[in-house]
Amino acid sequence: MLTAGTIDDELQSERTYVAGLYAKLDAERERVRNRYRAAMRSPIDAQDGGTLVDRDAEVRATAKQMNRLSVADNGLCFGRLDSQTGERSYIGRIGLFDEANDYEPMLLDWRAPASRPFYVATAANPENMRRRRQFHSRGRQLVDYTDEVFGRPGSDERGDAALLAAVNAPRGEGMRDIVATIQAEQDEIIRLDHNGVLVIEGGPGTGKTVVALHRVAYLLYTQRERMERHGVLVVGPNAAFLNHIGRVLPSLGETNVVFMTAGDLVPGLHATAEDSPDAARLKGSLKMLDVLAAAIADRQRQPAEPLPIELTDVTVRIDAETAQWAIEEARASGLPHNEARAVFVDIITYVLTERGIARIGKGWLTRQDSGAWENLREDLVRELADNEQFAAALEELWPLLTPESLLAQLYQSRERLRAAGADETLWRADGDAWTVSDVPLLDELVDMLGPDKPDDRTAEREQRAEAEYAAGVLDLMQSREDLMDDEDRLLATDLLYAEDLAERFVERDTRDLAERAAADRNWTYRHVVVDEAQELSEMDWRVLMRRCPSKSFTIVGDLAQRRSAAGATSWDAMLEPYVPGRWIYRPLSVNYRTPAEIMAVAAALLAEIAPDAEPPESVRASGVQPWSRHVTDDDLHTAIEEFNRAEAGREGTSVVIGPPDVPGAVPPSQTKGLEFDAVLVVEPDRILADGPRGAAELYVALTRATQRLGVLHRAPLPEALAGLTETPLSA
């Protein structure tokens, strides 16, 4: 048994070791910083593309190393593992090695396979370990440690001191990583070897979001070469949520990540408004594909009356029969609308020039005079190209369209909606008042319409040619690889890529990966994380599947919390059309956020709105009972102020959640995925009154608190909340 003196000696010994780790970290930072400075100062030959590529690759590589090392100050080392044979391993945020001692690991990266027992070893299955020691640090200072000796009678597999300290700690402004306290069921999901789609479902507080983010960090660690150059996309429900989780991956040393809401997936468009449930359901359905196709076809028209085109020597007309022939040929080409317009124009031009030549040459010109016939055709083609009547006719019969113009004009015209077979529920006076549900339709139209400027496709072809040339160079280099020694092979692999070679031919883009990816609609990612995935419609999923051709996804959600009328009712129905047989499901069942007292209240509501769903089991009780208070119209504002004053004197965060017209209240939809020490829910009956969406929103509101929950109501409490203790707010 350890005595007080022995414990003090052990603590001092661990402090000395951790201090040595920080000394190693500082030395490594200085070494990398010097390499970075040297690379920045190295001379380059403007005529030598290879030198420029090498210099830039070194700058990028050392900059990434500096970023990786810069995140390690806070909690560099989490603890120690002692094996049954007496070997010790220290586990931390990054890996550090002793170059003077055959690169012996001084600190194991938490993602390394050897670190796994730190998270999964239990009394029942100790993974050949004797002791897990967890450190409690403040900044660089080791304050204390907790030992768990496996096999000891009564050893608790789940509720250790480090975990309880973490879940009970006051919340700050953003989500914290859980890298020091990952639990066994979470670690299994984080390290899961599956290249397809992984669905993580769990109730409130089960850590599904932070588990998904740690899985991204793990994948970037184990598959860095495959994933890093195209990055990872994280899609969340709103900007507040993305801000809340935005620190987790950088804190783990990963920066090649793009954060977006579903309303940001079309570059240059930021939509936050929501449609009515009926409109959202219609727009989210795959039936909208037929509506969009019909809306495009409706803009490919025959003239009601022949359209005269006055040329210098003759007047020609575009009639319905000619236009119909041109429409059929253009559609048969299979090209998007704007590109097929060239076929339409060619047919119209051919017919008009033939008719013009026949009239101009009547009585003197025959087809046997081929030279004169062709000269006259060229003259008429040039004249048509400059003719304003001809340009106006083409714009009327087959206009160049943008996604925004087509959709806005569709929404604000009941006639066009009927022609496209769309429900008049979609009508609105302000056609381009974009909502989140419009984004997947606009994205779909990018492919259905094609570029609205002829130069767009030319630029794409040139860039493809440059990349293909660069890839060919790499293929030639690969054939010489057997002649290279290990060091040269590593240098070539790390520093020379097709994109680097292609940059010799185009203007250099100095933006980082996240900036370039966010601005490029055609950018594809190696992995996509989708949070609150139950809210996404069938059309939303088409957008996301286009963004990730490899179909590598981590999907996070809870069907019981679905509020969108267009959202998922089952994962199978949503995913099978895209990844049949390539998706797997993993549940999380332990609630690390919500204390048992609050979860009991939320579970009563869950039983009404989703009777088949099992509420997550809370890992702790707070000892504080959630309360309710009946208020009048006059004292509602006073009661909210009293709550705010009481919470202002406590450490941590708080929020008031309620209907939009309650002063100082945040709508439930804006708190999805967030957590606060104290929550005040105002007028739950009004939240609940908004149909199925309202029930889900009230469930979300009730499960945001980590410590304290209060409810203010003017009308009688909903039946599901009858178990709340009615008490004055000051109590």
What is the DSSP secondary-structure string of 686-720?
HHHTSHHHHHHHHHHHHT-EEEEEEEEESSPPPGG
661 burial via Cβ count (<10 Å: 0-12, 13-18, 19+): exposed
Length of the chain: 731
Q: Is the dihedral of CA 64, 69, 73, 78 positive or negative?
A: positive
Beta-bridge partners for 310:
315
Ranges 39-48, 484-493, 711-720: which has the least confidence: 484-493
pLDDT in tens, 106-148: 999 888 888 888 877 766 678 888 888 888 888 888 888 888 8
Distance, CA of 436 to CA of 265 (rounded, Å): 10
> Does residue 181 have a known ligand-binding role?
no
Give mean pLDDT, residues 317-328.
Answer: 97
Between residues 68 and 701, which one has the greater pLDDT?
701
217 pLDDT exceeds 90?
A: no
SS (H, E, C) 80-130: EEEECCCCEEEEECCCEEEHHHCCEEEEEECCCHHHCHHHHCCCCCCCCEE
Predicted pLDDT at 559: 92
Contact (CB, 8 A) for 431 and 407: yes
Element (H, E) at 346: helix 337-360
Distance, CA of 558 to CA of 568 (rounded, Å): 10
Distance, CA of 369 to CA of 545 (rounded, Å): 57
Between residues 29 and 226, which one has the greater pLDDT?
29
Predicted pLDDT at 580: 93
Ranges 441-455, 487-501, 673-687: which has the least confidence: 487-501
Contact (CB, 8 A) for 338 and 457: no
> Does residue 207 have a known ligand-binding role?
yes
Ranges 79-93, 504-518, 693-707: which has the least confidence: 504-518
> Does residue 5 have a known ligand-binding role?
no
> Does residue 202 have a known ligand-binding role?
yes
- Say how many CA atoms lie within 13 Å of 173 toward its Cβ: 3
What is the DSSP secondary-structure string of 273-331?
B---HHHHHHHHSTTHHHHHHHHHHHTS---SSPEEEE-SS-EEEE-HHHHHHHHHHHH
Contact (CB, 8 A) for 36 and 62: yes
Closest by CA position to 249, among listed 171, 179, 197, 194: 179
410 pLDDT exceeds 90?
A: yes
What is the DSSP secondary-structure string of 19-64?
HHHHHHHHHHHHHHHHHHHHHHHS---TT-HHHHHHHHHHHHHHHH
197 burial via Cβ count (<10 Å: 0-12, 13-18, 19+): buried
Residues with Cβ within 8 Å of residue 622, at least 6 apart in sequence: 595, 596, 597, 598, 707, 708
Predicted pLDDT at 497: 46
> Does residue 421 have a known ligand-binding role?
no
pLDDT in tens, 611-654: 888 888 888 888 899 999 999 988 899 999 999 999 998 888 99
> Does residue 308 have a known ligand-binding role?
no
